[in-house]
Structure 1
Amino acid sequence: MPATTLPPAPRWVPPPPTKENLDWADLPIIDFSKASTPEGRAELAPRVCDVMRTVGFMCIDWASLTDDQTDRIFDIGDVVFTQVPEAERMQHASKLAEEGSKIGYKPRQLWTIDNGVRDQHEQYACHRTVYGGQKHPKALEPFLPELRAFSEFNHYDVLHNILRILALGMELPEDTFVKMHGFDAVGDSHARWIKYHPRTEEDESKTNSVWLKGHTDTGTVTILYSQPISALQILSPDGKWRWVKHIDNALVVNIGESLEMLSGGFYKATIHRVVQPPADQRGRTRLGTYYFALADDAVRLVPVASPALAQGDVARKFADERAPTMGEWRRMRYMAYGLKEAVPVGGDVARQEKIVENGVLVLKYYN
């Protein structure tokens, strides 16, 4: 991060972690300090790959950013929501419904959650290049150098090393997946801040306290900066929803649909959802910081040839000749989530719903 004098930003002060005795997910904590060397990555690969094939989520314990630097990123992320007038925010609205891109601002109540209830969270997604064609609200402009450094850190230091380790787990050259994630290539990888606002008790009742339905992410790898308000749950292998516990300055990492396709099912996209926080944290807004990685738009989502996959073990969502590119897939998914009507799977709306277009299963909700 830049070492020069930094422009002031209002402090984002979250509440302390919950004291509720919740059913916590047993997420493996990986010491990522060795990931910067080939020898260290080779040592980490068996453990990381086993975790990402079974649990599907992991916590990275890695003090590459200091606590103050992480706090600063949350402060900057909140600027868009608190220091920019609504009319100006809407001037920077994403082309989500029109073009299938999340770059820019998403207002509250854009998506339908359930029983007519619409979402109560807003987002701001900053393209990883920061300056490359995206215009930002005026209040955010002083922070653009820091946001660029933050994107570079996530892309090169965190994402690329995760991708190298995942390639090693498939007995592939380290750069197999890295080459599909160019920083300056055409693509939608981005840093994003999501601010969840409290809902009415009526809305909580109508949605069974679910704020975002169970789903898998569209891209390849999602990096979440742990924060104290508990709301994220993962679907454990035993079919139970469990809470993700806050760990100071840790990163929570999961696999998305696109990497599942690229790996031929070797790595599974992981199912998660967002729900109402526990009782001692209700009524508070929840700010999250993320880096959502997607392969370059031109990458076709066909399985890589891997010695770790016997021919019969390769799982394909599409026949190779019909497989979409990353750009096509993210547009299909982004233009469907929360915007198009889902239908029950097997007539059981309480469990799963799906969106099918032109015979293609675009999206599935897990309730």
Structure 2
Amino acid sequence: MPHTTAPATPLPVLELQQFIAGDAQQRAKFVQTLRDVAHGVGFFYLRGYGAAPGQEQALFDATRAFFALPPERKQALAMVHSPHFRGYTGPGLEITRGERDWREQIDIGAEYPAITQGPGVPAWTRLQGPNQWPAELPQVRDQVVAWQQTLTTAGRQLLRALALALGQPEDRFDAAFASTPVQHVKLIRYPGQAADASQQGVGAHKDSGCLTLLLQHQEAGLQVLDRQAPGEVWIDVPPLEGTVVINLGEVLEVLSGGYLRANIHRVVSPPQSRERLSIAFFLSPRLDAELPPLALPPELAARARGVDRDPRNPLIAHTGRNLLKGRLRSHPDVAERHYADVLAAEGLQPGAPAQAYA
């Protein structure tokens, strides 16, 4: 994987409390900064997002404990057992752009009951259901559930600010994220790779949901594509204490007609002697939500770029359909076991690469 790094251009750091507790002038400044960065690079750091003292460290301690389990215990929680795409995935078993991602992870969703299946029930309803938890590590469940609550609260506030940034009523997104929003956590470990091995921690992609809030430990590796530079140039997004990294997903790009940018990003594997830990949280509307395109003010609509289009990777405003599309590509073993009917009906090939992100 070529590694061309842009000159040191730090992403902006936004302070969420400026929007939550600030006066009118501070809130307006936050919204303006958010509008600029969400239209531009689509990535930024966020401080003041509501983590309790020690919460980040406790979450990383639980994450380390999980990955330290014997391989057979982790494999007992393999995602292939879950039609909801919940559970453990070993290194090289997830696919991005047709190539293997060298990371291990456990995917955990909100603890909602499974939706009863039957004739006529859409396939995307299978995404909702129970998690697979390591019984010997109850702290994993405790910490992840608390983290979901913390970041859902922060994400809802950020969405209110984004609504204002787009010239909409502040509560524009509230209903879609009420009651049962999609709250998807990935605990991720990137093992070190030899210099002559694949450096694809995770390949270049956009996130298929709405908002991503990423907590990084001490090892760098995340990169975002510099859309202003000629050629393929990547901006490093190193860990910054006390922050989460925010990026926008495809749903917001679609809703805004491309005014908001769901940018392409990747993770480069750490050197052989090190490892990288990160915890990704993906917040999306309820699975049944289908948000209509936003009517932007004329001055914003004139700057909308349109949505990246690729017939092999359609961007869909319906939450459940869009998320299922991404899961089927990324986890071919789960797709083949639990969604053979969907693959056959739609002529899909699990793991087939999308070409929009060249």
* TM-score calculated relative to the size of structure 2: 0.76
2:336 match: none
Residue deviations 1:166-208, cap 9 Å, x none? 00011111222232223x42x542122110112233323xxxx
Distance 1:237 1:363 in 2: 19
Gaps of 5+ in 1: 1-20, 341-355
The one-letter code matched in structure 2 to 1:144 is: R
2:123 match: none
Determine if the alignment matches structure 1 residue 201 to structure 2 residue 195.
Answer: yes
Distance 1:189 1:23 in 2: 35
**1:163, 1:177 within 8 Å by CA — same for their partners in 2?**
yes
Structure 1 residues 269 and 357 mapped into 2: Cα distance closer, same or farther (>3 Å)?
farther
**2:200, 2:267 within 8 Å by CA — same for their partners in 1?**
yes
Distance 2:193 2:242 in 1: 28
**1:219, 1:258 within 8 Å by CA — same for their partners in 2?**
yes
The equivalent position to 2:133 in structure 1, one of 133, 136, 139, is 136
Distance 1:146 1:237 in 2: 36
**2:308, 2:356 within 8 Å by CA — same for their partners in 1?**
no
**2:41, 2:226 within 8 Å by CA — same for their partners in 1?**
yes
1:292 match: 282
**Range that drifts further, 134-143 or 54-63:** 134-143
Structure 1 residues 95 and 179 mapped into 2: Cα distance closer, same or farther (>3 Å)?
farther
1:110 match: 93
1:159 match: 155
Residue deviations 1:50-75, cap 9 Å, x none? 11111211111227335632111111
Structure 1 residues 111 and 190 mapped into 2: Cα distance closer, same or farther (>3 Å)?
closer
| Aligned structure 1 segments of 4 or more residues deviating by more than 6 angstroms | none
The one-letter code matched in structure 1 to 2:71 is: E
1:124 match: 106
| 1:270-309 superposed matches below 5 A | 270-277=263-270, 282-300=272-290, 302-307=292-297
Structure 1 residues 306 and 217 mapped into 2: Cα distance closer, same or farther (>3 Å)?
same
The equivalent position to 2:327 in structure 1, one of 297, 311, 334, is 334
Distance 1:27 1:245 in 2: 10
| 1:20-39 superposed matches below 5 A | 23-37=7-21, 39=24
The one-letter code matched in structure 2 to 1:291 is: F
1:353 match: none
Partner of 2:217: helix, strand, or coil? Answer: coil
The one-letter code matched in structure 2 to 1:93 is: A
Residue deviations 1:262-293, cap 9 Å, x none? 2222211111111133xxx5421111012111
How far apart are 1:142 and its partner, in Å?
4.1
Partner of 2:61: helix, strand, or coil? Answer: helix
Gaps of 5+ in 2: 114-128, 310-314, 334-346
Distance 2:139 2:201 in 1: 33
The one-letter code matched in structure 1 to 2:86 is: I
Distance 2:279 2:36 in 1: 26
Partner of 2:285: helix, strand, or coil? Answer: coil
2:45 match: 59
Count of residues in correspondence between the two structures: 313
Distance 1:256 1:41 in 2: 23
2:254 match: 261
2:222 match: 232
Structure 1 residues 362 and 171 mapped into 2: Cα distance closer, same or farther (>3 Å)?
farther
Residue deviations 1:21-50, cap 9 Å, x none? 984442011122223248454441111111
Residue deviations 1:149-181, cap 9 Å, x none? 22111001x101110110001111122223222
Structure 1 residues 188 and 63 mapped into 2: Cα distance closer, same or farther (>3 Å)?
closer
* TM-score calculated relative to the size of structure 1: 0.74
Structure 1 residues 312 and 221 mapped into 2: Cα distance closer, same or farther (>3 Å)?
closer
1:347 match: none
How far apart are 1:261 and its partner, in Å?
1.0
Structure 1 residues 310 and 224 mapped into 2: Cα distance closer, same or farther (>3 Å)?
closer
